[in-house]
Each structure stands twice: as structure tokens, then as C-alpha cells.
Chains A and B, each alone.
Chain A
């Protein structure tokens, strides 16, 4: 593998082939009841497995051609560069942000009322219903702003907080029935 594009094309072809095979051999037979054709009340119908089987077969074919091509030919490698550090950091930011969004509301309510009232009862009551969204949301905005500009600034914190509160108000004030994240899941 002397060419970075070549490695990536090979991996891509292998991933396509493997996922198509898994779909064809394991997933579709195990998770669809009616087969490619289906006999129902003595008439033959197209079964639920027809479309996914065709799709997976197409993926398999495309993957095979791509793999062979990647091995035989030199790819015209105009690939973007993927940075593993960036990937790991952004996954962490998203995971932390979503966890904060879901956990901070119930946690703060539990602290405040020492367990007497549950968050479930307050999820339509201000200011409790905003807690999770504002903490989690501004965390995400701040982290990505700081990450992409490579510096910390209190101005970023302020901007993240203000824009999150604005977003919360845009959705919450005009619409009675909309629930901000994570209030629909509590």
C-alpha cells in the first residue's frame, strides 16, 4: 500500500462487500418474515425481502468492482485528509454534550427539591425545562467554536450561552406543544 488513496479505496471496497454480505446472509434472512417472493392465500406476491436483497446485491457488485479496481489501478487520489484526533475529540464533545443535556435537568431538580418532586412533573415548567438544553447546548457550541478556532475565549462562552438561550426561546415561546430536548424522553 504505497499510496494513501489506494489504502482507502481498498478499505472502502472491503467495507462495502462485508456489509452487503452481512445484509444478504445474516440480516435479511433473520430479520424479514416474508422472503423474496411470498405465497399468500395461494397467490404469489413480492415479499418484503425483495427490495433489500436487490439493494444489498447491488452494493456487493459495486464493492467488488471497487476492490478489484483499487488493487489493480492507481486511484486518482484527491481524497480529503481525515484527522483521527479531530474525530475522537468531536465524538467526545457530542457524547458529553448530549449526556449533559439529558442528565443535568433531572440532577439539578433532584438537588433542589431533595427528591420530593421529580423532573417528570416539571418538564413543562420554566425554568426547569430549559436547564438541560441550555447546559448541554452551550457546551457543544462553545467546544466546537473553541476547537475550530484553536483558542479559548470568554467571548465564545458568552456567545454560546446567548445563542443557546435564543434557540430555546425560538422553539419554546411560540409553540405550546413542542418539547425541547431532552424533555420528550423523560
Chain B
């Protein structure tokens, strides 16, 4: 099979492979259906203050796996849903930021700066349209970069890198993630190393599951989904509980409801936004391609760049549409590019990629990494078909976003908000149940709550969560690669330093760790 045939097979697989509804010649496949479902749920979740995309992914993953099972047929519907949520939550986050001045996600904070003033001036609908236009443009652009870069990168890695170089590359990415996320090098390293230590429990190659303390609960290995969801979601829920518990006395006034007002956005206005969108989406894409750097930084950089180039009548911060466009284009462009390291290296760069890799791991039949993009001619490489089908689903999500996103955002502006005090306890029980049904074992719930407590403590002491999660997921592949490299070179102790490429990677890793510490200089002296 040639390259073109693989792409075609992927498109066909996504569109017709697993039909849900057949009406004469019209076929609606499960993957497409779930993209749509995920997208709308994503917009809804993104628009609800206090919830974010990862919540929806965490809750949905176990349920989806229960519905679709562990067959390769399950991969695309599950991916479709995750991709839909990812994109929906990205545009949805702008709704409360603009209409209620409450950012649903941290990266939507910059959107409030110009969005809320516009809404107060009776231009809420217009602001939503600007946000949507910029967001979709940024998203589409970074997806195109992903489609081109991921296969290319993967093929070159597979062609030029052997086991020792792959090990060095993983060490480099992990150091990068540890240092760059959060604002403290050593807390990042602590989190990453702790992730590696936790991942060591009951893995390894010896017949005795290491570090299992003689307990059969540990000997089974920690349930990955429970660990990840515990730290990411349950920890966050308890932090919110505590914040609400403390602030309940100081009754918060409900934000005044603002009518959307002027909702038009002419072609001319769109054209004037384009330079801002162009700059911001390039920034967002570059940032997104580096593992571990979040959307928040992209939004901040995009906003700053936009303010420097802006010369219009309304200043940034006083209700300039360009400010919204610069922010939203940048933070939306991160999501597609974030999948570049995930698909070409198997290294998850952000939370959405963590869930995609988790889904692939749990279902089986698709191992994100360089081996996916093997264009084998005689034998069909099913993973490559899945990869192109995944790209197709992302395109489908973008089309849906272009056509219905703006309408859906306006619709949500009018919805009543369920108070967090009621919503979050329900989300907690849902999380607990969906983790339980996976393994039918109460110990999974205890693991979930233990790591929830850990996530709570890490948030309370400013220890970044993402390095822990990424290190935890990456530990298995990292250890296997290093061991295999060592054994395949006939136990050469210098196997990591035999090729110039791996030496370069290791020098870079050291430079990043030392450099970042020097750049930030630790806590400032008062």
C-alpha cells in the first residue's frame, strides 16, 4: 500500500468503517457521531465555570471503554470523542470569560480582559463571534501542521534513531517537561521523579513484582486510569470544595446577565483580525509542539504580541476585538500541535494527549510512537490507518466547529448555570463509579482517592501536576527502551554515549535543567 492509499483507507475507516446509522446512501459512522457528541459536551463543559476538558475526558474514558469494549473497533469512537471534547472545550472556555467575566479555564483569563468590556458595551455576541473565529482558525492551522509534521518526524526518528538514541530523546523530553511546567525547577524535578517512583511499583521484569510490599493489591500494579484521574481530577475537585467551603460565607453575587447584543461580524472586520490571528496561531503552534508547555503561556504570549502590533481606536484591555482574537487564536493553536510529540514519539505533551495515550494503551491495537508511521507496502499497517482516521476525525471536528460552533456558543450564553456546589459532588461520585466499574475492585477507588489527596497536596504546595503524570506514563516505555538498548548492545555500559546524536540529546537535557534554574534564579530575595 502506498502513502495515498493509506490516507484514503484512514478517511474511509473514519467515515464509513463502523456505521451507526445507515439511511440509504448516507452513512453516519460511530466515530463521527462521537466527534459531534464530544464536541457539544466539550463546549458545554468548557463553558461551565469550574469544569474543564480533562473532567469530561476523565469521566468519559472509562464509560466509553465499557461501551465499545477493548476491540480495535473501539479506538476511533473513543478517539473521536476525546478529540471532540478537546476542541469543544477550547472554544467553550471563551463563553463565561466574555459574558460573565469568569474564565472557565486559566488560559481564558486573557479573554476576559477585552471580552467582558465588549459584553458590557452591548457587543457580547460580537465578542463571542470574534473568539470563535480566532479559535477555529488557530485550531485548524495547528491541525494542518500536525498532519504534515507528525508523520515526517516519526519517519525520520525511525530511520535515524536506534534504541540508545531513542532512550536519550525520552530523557531529554522528560527533563524538559519537568523543568518547564510550573514555575519552579526543583519542584518540577521532584514531581517527575516521584512519578517515576510510583510507576516503578509492580512493574519491572523480575517474577517478583517490585516494591509491592507483599500486598496483592500492589502486585496487580496500580490502575493507571485511577492514578491519573485521581491526581488530575479528584485533587482539583477537593481544592474546589475547600475554596467553596471557605468562601460560602462571603456570599458571591451572581454576575449580572448580559444580553448578547450586537452579534454581527462582517467580512471586513474578520479581515482586520487576520494579522493578529496569524501571529498568535503561529506562536501557539510552536509552543504546543514542545511537550509540557501549556495553553496559558501561549495565550499570554499571543496577547502580548497582539498588543505590540495593535494600533486601533480601542485599546487592548478596554474591549478590543483584536485582544480576544490574539488570545483565542494562540490558546486554540496549542491543542493540535500538542499531539505532535504524542503521535510521533509517544510522549504526551499535555493533558489531552495524556488521555489519548491512555485510551490507546487501555484499548490496545494502537501504540502511539514512531512505529505507527511505518508505510509497509506488502502488509497493511493497521496502526497507520488508525492514525490517518484520527486525522480525519480532527478535520471533521474542525468542520463542525466552523459550521455550528458560533451558534452553540451563543445558545449556551443563555443557559442557566448549575451551581458548582451541586455539580462537583456529583462529578466526584461519577468519577469514583467509573473507576470502580473498570476493575470491579474497591482498591481501585482507594487508589483514586489516595492520588486525589496527593493531587490536593501538590496543588496546595505549588508542585506542578503535569510532570508527575507525564513521568508516570512515560516511565514504562523509558525503562523498556533503556533496558533493551543496554541488552541489545551486549551490556555496553556506555551505550548512551556511543553515538553523537544521543550525546547531543543528553547535553541538551543537562543544559535545560541547569539553564532553567539559572534563568529563574529560584524565589526572589525580598
Q: What residues make up the interface of A, taking CB atoms closer than 8 Å to B?
A: 8-9, 12, 16, 23, 27-28, 31-34, 43-52, 54-59, 61-63, 65-66, 69, 73-76, 78-83, 86, 90, 94, 98, 102, 133, 137, 140-145, 147-150, 156, 159-160, 163-164, 167, 170-171, 174-175, 178-185
- Write the chain B residue with the least CB distance to A138: B429
Residue numbers in B under 8 Å from A44 (CB-CB): 491
10 residue pairs of the A-B complex, CB under 8 angstroms, read: A32-B208, A62-B186, A74-B523, A78-B462, A142-B425, A144-B428, A156-B422, A167-B430, A178-B440, A182-B442
User: Once the chains bind, are A102 and B210 in contact (CB under 8 Å)?
Assistant: no
Query: Which of A43, A48, A52, A73 contacts B197, CB < 8 Å?
Result: A52
Find out whether the CB atom of A51 lies under 8 angstroms from the CB atom of B421.
no
SS class of chain B's interface: helix, strand, loop or mixed?
A: helix
Given A48-B206, A144-B424, A145-B425, A66 and B190 contact (CB-CB distance below 8 Å) = yes
Binary per-residue interface labels of chain B (176-202) against chain A in the complex, 1 for a CB within 8 Å, 0 otherwise: 000000000011011011111101100
Which residues on the A side are within 8 Å of B210 (C-beta)? 31-33, 48-49, 52
Q: A43-B491, A81-B246 are in contact. Are A180 and B436 (CB under 8 A)?
A: yes
Q: Indicate if the CB atoms of B197 and A45 lie closer than 8 Å.
A: no
Q: Is the CB–CB distance between A62 and B205 below 8 Å?
A: no
* Contact of A184 with B439 in the complex, beta carbons under 8 Å: yes
Contact partners of A47 in chain B: CB under 8 A:
206
Pairwise interchain contact B437-A178, C-beta atoms closer than 8 A:
yes
Question: Are A62 and B242 in touch, CB under 8 angstroms?
Answer: no
Report B-chain residues with C-beta under 8 Å of the C-beta of A159. 422
Q: Mark B409-438, 1 if CB is under 8 A from A, else 0.
A: 000000000011110111011101110110
* A80 with B244: CB separation less than 8 A: no
B248 within 8 Å of A (CB atoms):
yes
Please name all residues of chain B whose beta carbon is closer than 8 Å to the beta carbon of A94 when the two chains form the complex. 449
Distance (whole angstroms) from the CB of B55 to the closest CB of chain A: 15
B200: nearest residue on chain A (CB-CB)? A52
Chain A nearest CB: distance from B343 CB in Å?
Answer: 25
Please determine whether A179 and B437 come into contact, CB atoms closer than 8 angstroms. Answer: yes
**Closest chain B residue, CB of each to CB of A38:** B206
**Do B441 and A48 touch (CB < 8 A)?**
no
CA distance A76 to B187 in the complex (A): 14
Q: How far is the CB of B292 from chain A (nearest CB, A)?
A: 17
A54 touches B66 (CB 8 A): no
- A61-B208 in contact (CB<8A): no
Residues of chain B within 8 A (CB-CB) of A31 are 210-213
CB of B525 within 8 A of CB of A73, answer: yes
CB contacts (< 8 Å) of A179 on chain B: these are 436-437, 440
Closest B residue to A140 by beta carbon equals B429
Of B152-160, B261-269, B475-483, the one contacting chain A is: B475-483
Q: Enumerate chain A residues within 8 angstroms of B486, measured Cβ to Cβ.
A: 45-46
A166 to B248, CA, bound (A): 28
Contact residues in B for A183 (Cβ distance below 8 Å): 440
Task: State A112–B296 Cα separation when bound (angstroms).
Answer: 57
Q: Assess whether B425 is in contact with A160, with CB atoms less than 8 Å apart.
A: yes
A94 to B430, CA, bound (A): 14
**Interface contact A80-B459, CB-CB below 8 Å:** yes
Q: How distant is A175 from chain B, measured CB to nearest CB, in Å?
A: 5
**Is B440 a contact partner of A184 (Cβ separation < 8 A)?**
yes
Does B403 count as interface, using CB distance less than 8 angstroms? no
Q: Of B66, B194, B208, B436, which is within 8 A of A59 by CB?
A: B194
Residues 244-257 of chain B, each 1 if its beta carbon lies under 8 Å from chain A, else 0: 11101100000000
Q: With an 8 A cutoff between CB atoms, is B145 at the interface?
A: no
CA distance A3 to B245 in the complex (A): 25
Residue interface bits B441-462, CB-to-A below 8 A is 1, else 0: 1100100010000000001111
In angstroms, how far is the closest chain A Cβ from the Cβ of B431? Answer: 10
Instruction: Say whether B311 faces chain A, with CB atoms less than 8 Å apart.
Output: no
Task: Give the A-binding residues of B (Cβ under 8 A).
Answer: 63, 66-67, 186-187, 189-190, 192-197, 199-200, 204-206, 208, 210-213, 238-239, 241-246, 248-249, 419-422, 424-426, 428-430, 432-434, 436-437, 439-442, 445, 449, 459-463, 475, 478-479, 482-483, 486-487, 491, 522-526
Tell me which of B197, B421, B522 contacts A55 (CB under 8 A).
Answer: B197
Contact between B196 and A51, CB atoms less than 8 A apart: yes
CB distance from B141 to the nearest CB of A (A): 35
Pairwise interchain contact B189-A73, C-beta atoms closer than 8 A: no
Residues of chain B lying within 8 A (CB to CB) of residue A82: 242, 460
CB neighbours of A140 from chain B (8 A): 425, 428-429
Q: How far is the CA of A73 from the CA of B486 in the complex (A)?
A: 42
Q: Is the CB of A83 within 8 A of B245?
A: yes
Shortest distance between the CB of A28 and any CB in chain B (Å): 7
Bound Cα distance from A149 to B449, whole angstroms: 22
Contacts of A23 in B (CB 8 A): 197
Contact B460 A79 (CB under 8 A): yes
Q: Report the nearest A residue to B244, measured CB to CB.
A: A148
B-side contacts of A66, CB under 8 Å: 186-187, 190
Q: Provide the bound-state CA to CA distance between A76 and B475, in Å.
A: 32
Contact B460 A80 (CB under 8 A): yes
Q: CB distance B523 to A76 under 8 Å?
A: yes
**A178 and B200 within 8 A (CB):** no
Instruction: Look across to chain B and name the residue whose beta carbon is closest to the beta carbon of A73.
Output: B523
A34 to B207, CA, bound (A): 10
**Residues on the A chain within 8 Å of B190, using CB:** 16, 58-59, 62-63, 66
- Contact in complex: A102, B442 (CB < 8 Å): yes
A-B complex: 6 closest residue pairs judged by Cβ atoms: A184-B440, A58-B193, A55-B196, A48-B204, A144-B425, A62-B190
Q: Are A58 and B192 in contact (CB under 8 A)?
A: yes
Q: Are A86 and B205 in contact (CB under 8 A)?
A: no
Q: Are A181 and B246 in contact (CB under 8 A)?
A: no
- Check A45–B193 contact: CB distance below 8 A: no
Cα(A169)–Cα(B451), bound, Å: 27
- Residue of chain B at shortest CB distance from A43: B491
Q: Beyond A31-B210, A45-B483, A48-B210, list 17 extra A-B contacts (CB 8 Å).
A: A45-B486, A49-B210, A55-B197, A62-B190, A69-B523, A83-B245, A86-B241, A86-B245, A144-B241, A145-B422, A160-B425, A171-B433, A175-B66, A178-B66, A178-B440, A179-B440, A181-B432
Question: In the docked arrangement, what's the CA distance between A104 and B66, Å?
Answer: 27
Q: How long is the Cα–Cα vector from A76 to B183 in the complex, in angstroms?
A: 11
Q: How far is the CB of A167 from chain B (nearest CB, A)?
A: 6
Determine how close the nearest CB of chain A comes to the CB of B463; give it in whole angstroms: 8
